[in-house]
Amino acid sequence: MSIQDELLNHYQLDVLAEKAGGYVAAPTAESLDYTDLFFSVCQQFGIRYSQATPKERFFVDEVTRVTWAIQHGERIGENLRPAFSA
């Protein structure tokens, strides 16, 4: 295996970014605001998402989803699915 092949193997990120046209996408203002809300929910409940159980993660996801929707004018029972429901 040539040095270049070994490097390509080791630095798969560079190979995949080549296909994708970059490493990351620039965030929209909305996605930044949503992520801010997500972190504030984590802080509110003292949950460190990276070390959380699946149940804790689901809880944070649902609180964030519903809070965001309500902040953006959606109403439960109209177009918004209530928290912790199928």
Partner 1 sequence: MFFDPFVIASQTGERIPVQIVPATVANLSATKGDPKWQTDWSSDYLSDPSIEKFAVKVCDGALIGLGAYQIRGKKAYVYIVYMESAPHSNQTMKPQNERSYFGIGALLIAFGIKYSIDHGCRGDIVFDAKTDELARHYESDFHAIRIPSENS
Nearest C-alpha neighbor of 34 from the set 56, 83, 67: 67
For 19, other C-beta atoms within 10 Å of its C-beta total: 6
Are the beta carbons of 83 and 66 closer than 8 angstroms? yes
Min dist CB 77 to partner 1, Å, is 21
> Which residue's CB is nearer to partner 1, number 20 or number 76?
20
Q: Which is nearer to partner 1, 34 or 81 (CB)?
A: 34
For residue 79, the minimal CB distance to partner 1 (Å) is 15
- Residues within the interface to partner 1 (CB under 8 A): 3-4, 6-8, 10-27, 30-32, 34-36, 38-40, 42-43, 49-50, 60-61, 64-65, 68
Phi-psi region of 78 (alpha: psi -120 to 50; beta: other; left: phi over 0): alpha
23 or 75: whose CB is closer to partner 1? Answer: 23
